[in-house]
Structure 1
Amino acid sequence: MDWYSIVKFLHVVTATLWVGGGFVLFLLGLLAERAGNIDDKLQAMRASGELGGRFFAPMSMLTLVFGLVMCGFWVGFSDLWVVIGLAGYATTFSIGMFIFKPTGERMGAMIAKDGVTPAVLGVGQRMMRVARFDYAVMLVVVADMVLKPTPHDIGILAGMALVVAIGAILAFAGARRLVPSTA
């Protein structure tokens, strides 16, 4: 076995843990949202917040490091699929650090101060909407890593752009409100 295979394996494992683990939490939150189950939704958000800095951030950074090592030693940085992957990584990392992290901290402080209020649920709802866009970008990055499109792969590139556009629509178009039941 060569070094490239080892680094590629580590890149794929850390990416799987990062993207797959986050997707499971996103899915749990989405299912709770659709069912109107506030407790389960808050539990998914709490787990996301607790795992964000301890698990997801390190896995995302390791994914990047192993990818950069592969590019630096073997692949290079000039292929379109590498550029798309890095842009997608920068997007999802920025969403995590500049939206999810501070929003989760703000929600935790709000809950500690006033409990679960409609304001907390509103903040959580907005966070879930952004997560839809984040996972559309992640899906494109995964497809990009597997398909490795060139500038001539217009269909693949158009499909990737469509996935990001649909993710943006799902994230930022009108959404259901999650409110405590009165029954």
Structure 2
Amino acid sequence: MDWYSIVKFLHIVSATIWVGGGFTLMVLAFLANRAGDVPGTLQAMRATGELGGKLFAPLSILTLALGLVMCWFWVGFSDLWIIIGLAGYATTFCVGMFIFKPTAEKMASMIDRDGVTPGALDLGHRILAAACFDYSVMLVIVADMVLKPALHDIAILAGMLMILAIGLALSLGGKRRRQLTPHIA
């Protein structure tokens, strides 16, 4: 076994736990929200916020670091798929740090102070809406890492753009649905 294989294995394991763990929490929140389970929805969102800094952010940084090591020593940084992957990582890291983290912290503070309120529920819905876009970016990153598109791979690149557009539309549609969701008493 060579060093590249070991680094690649660790890169894939850290990415799997990061993306899979977050996706699982998002699905739990969507299912609870769809069932009208307000405490369950908020608990999944709170868990996302709590695990964000303790598990997901460190794993995302480890995934990036291992990917950069592979690029530095073996692959290089000039291929389009590497640039797309780095741009995707930057996007999802920013969503996590500037949307998920502060919104989840604010929601947790509200729940600790006032209990489950319409305001806390609204913050949970904001997180769910952002998650639609965030996970469309992550899906593009995973497809990018597997398919390794070049400029001439128009169909793959168009598919990636379509996934991002669908994620953005679902995210914005989540804002409209949030306004229609009955508030708790």
Give the TM-score, by structure 2 length. 0.95
Do 1:38 and 1:179's aligned partners in 2 also have CA atoms closer than 8 Å? no
Structure 1 segments (4+ residues) deviating >4 Å: none
Match of 1:179 in 2: 183
1:141-152 superposed matches below 5 A: 141-152=141-152
Corresponding residue SS for 1:72? helix
**Cα distance in 1 between the residues matched to 2:182 and 2:17:** 29
Give the alignment's Cα RMSD to 1 decimal: 1.0
Q: Percent identity of the aligned residues?
A: 65
**CA 178–124 in structure 1, closer or farther in 2 if over 3 Å, else same:** farther
**CA 178–81 in structure 1, closer or farther in 2 if over 3 Å, else same:** farther
Corresponding residue SS for 2:177? coil
Deviation readout 1:95-117 (Å, 9 max, x if unpaired): 00011111111111111221111
**Cα distance in 2 between the residues matched to 1:53 and 1:122:** 22
1:92-171 superposed matches below 5 A: 92-171=92-171
**Cα distance in 1 between the residues matched to 2:37 and 2:56:** 25
Runs (5+) with no aligned partner, structure 2 = none
Runs (5+) with no aligned partner, structure 1 = none
Do 1:25 and 1:44's aligned partners in 2 also have CA atoms closer than 8 Å? yes
Match of 1:36 in 2: 36
Match of 1:70 in 2: 70
Do 1:33 and 1:178's aligned partners in 2 also have CA atoms closer than 8 Å? no
Match of 1:80 in 2: 80
Do 1:122 and 1:178's aligned partners in 2 also have CA atoms closer than 8 Å? no
**Cα distance in 1 between the residues matched to 2:111 and 2:35:** 22
Question: Shift of the alpha carbon at 1:71?
Answer: 0.3
Do 1:49 and 1:101's aligned partners in 2 also have CA atoms closer than 8 Å? yes
Which range is displaced more, 130-139 or 41-50? Answer: 41-50
Give the TM-score, by structure 1 length. 0.96
Aligned residues: 181
Do 1:36 and 1:178's aligned partners in 2 also have CA atoms closer than 8 Å? no
Question: Shift of the alpha carbon at 1:50?
Answer: 1.6
